[in-house]
């Protein structure tokens, strides 16, 4: 078997194994939570017979291992269960929520990824000069401030004081694309500032590491300008670590939007998860956790595959 095909199969198998392990941890974590779900639904005045009937209806009278595999096989088939609080199918409720979260993450990525790569290239081009120092200082500042604090600061100055955007990012299907983009402007700004710093600094570090290679010195001796050396020789050979950090931050954009969605009351999966955590709706928490784990593992697996495909030693084995 070709070495590249073998590595790709290994990464796919490892991704499936990690998702299986993550599902077990999610189920175990929600199972060992203190309290009784049936008791929280029926209240303190419920009789023992009523509690026993509800536990049997919810399958809580079965062993945890049996309940886990029943839940896992149902999830594989697309059945995420029913919400305990309203009786609605979780998969139907998550459809719009997931699309809203992906919409927010997509526009944050469209802005942050090209900007981070551009700033990284600019910092390398003017290494140890004022553009590099200014970019590094700004990114270090943004990465040091908690995201919820950035959100509240932007909300106060841009939404309240200046009135440019709304402080509540509410969107619906009746809105046009322009109206949706105007509504999500502030959360997109926050997410961009949060992930931009990490991507930019990793891009800078990866390119500077490549710039120490012998072929870079050869390119400089051939008379190429500094920008051409970076663009034609350094950047293509630094693409693997850059792709890895970009994918990690894209995974954060999808998985880590919980705080931002709560701050801006955005109707995404994060807000949906927090609402049902407070109601002790365990099936919803399990479903959201499984989807977040699948997205995170999937994007990391894509990063590994791109790194493998971009390695010439694997593409052209001796």
Give 3-state DSSP helix, strand, coil % of the chain, rounded to 5: 75, 0, 25
pLDDT at 2: 65
pTM of the model: 0.74
Domains of the chain from N-terminus onward: 3-76 (no CATH), 95-150+190-315 (1.10.3720.10)
Question: Which one has a higher pLDDT value, 113 or 245?
Answer: 113
pLDDT score recorded for residue 128: 76
For residue 312, the model assigns a pLDDT of 61
Query: Residues 200-258: pLDDT tens digits?
Result: 877 777 777 776 676 666 776 777 776 677 666 666 666 667 777 777 777 777 777 77
* Per-residue pLDDT, 155: 83
Instruction: Look at 291 and 7; give whichever has higher pLDDT.
Output: 291
High-pLDDT (> 90) share of the chain, %? 0
Buried b / exposed e over 242-275, threshold 16 CB at 10 Å, is bbbbbbbbbbbbbbbbbbbbbbbebbbbbbbbee
Bridge partner list, 89: 82
Tokens of 165: 């955007």
φ and ψ of 288, to 5 deg = -65, -45
pLDDT, average across residues 30-56: 68
Distance between CA 295 and CA 250 in Å, rounded? 10
Residue 73 in this model has a pLDDT that exceeds 70? yes
- For residue 42, the model assigns a pLDDT of 64
User: Token pair of 152, please?
Assistant: 């509240």
Residue 233's pLDDT is what? 66
Q: Using 50, 70 and 90 to split pLDDT, how confident is the model at 139?
A: confident
Write out pLDDT tens, residues 256-300: 777 888 888 888 887 788 777 777 777 788 888 888 888 888 887
Over residues 109-137, the mean pLDDT reads 81
Mean pLDDT of the chain: 77
Beta bridge partners, 82, equal: 89
């Amino acid at each position: 078997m070709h070495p590249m095909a073998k590595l790709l199969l290994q990464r796919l198998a490892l991704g499936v194994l990690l998702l299986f392990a993550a599902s077990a941890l999610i189920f175990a974590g929600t199972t060992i939570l203190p309290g009784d779900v049936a008791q929280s639904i029926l209240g303190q005045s419920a009789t023992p017979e009523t509690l026993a009937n509800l536990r049997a209806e919810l399958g809580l009278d079965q062993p945890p291992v049996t309940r886990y595999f029943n839940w896992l096989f149902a999830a594989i088939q697309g059945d995420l269960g029913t919400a305990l609080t309203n009786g609605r199918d979780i998969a139907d409720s998550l459809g719009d929520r997931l699309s809203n979260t992906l919409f927010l993450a997509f526009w944050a990525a469209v802005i942050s990824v090209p900007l981070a790569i551009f700033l990284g290239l600019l910092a390398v081009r003017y290494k140890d000069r004022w553009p590099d120092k200014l970019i590094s200082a700004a990114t270090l500042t943004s990465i040091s401030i908690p995201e919820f604090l950035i959100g509240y600061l932007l909300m106060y100055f841009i939404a309240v004081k200046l009135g440019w955007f709304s402080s509540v990012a509410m969107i619906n299907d009746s809105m046009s694309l322009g109206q949706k983009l105007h509504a999500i402007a502030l959360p997109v700004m926050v997410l961009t500032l949060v992930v931009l710093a990490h991507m930019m600094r990793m891009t800078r570090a990866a390119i500077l590491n490549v710039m120490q290679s012998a072929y870079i010195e050869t390119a400089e001796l051939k008379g190429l300008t500094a920008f051409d050396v970076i663009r034609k020789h350094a950047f293509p050979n630094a693409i693997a670590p850059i792709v890895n950090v970009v994918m990690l931050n894209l995974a954060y954009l999808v998985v880590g939007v919980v705080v931002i969605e709560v701050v801006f009351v955005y109707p995404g999966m994060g807000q949906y998860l927090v609402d049902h955590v407070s109601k002790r709706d365990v099936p919803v928490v399990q479903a959201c956790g499984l989807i977040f784990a699948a997205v995170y593992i999937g994007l990391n697996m894509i990063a590994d595959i791109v790194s493998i495909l971009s390695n010439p030693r694997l593409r052209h084995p001796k």
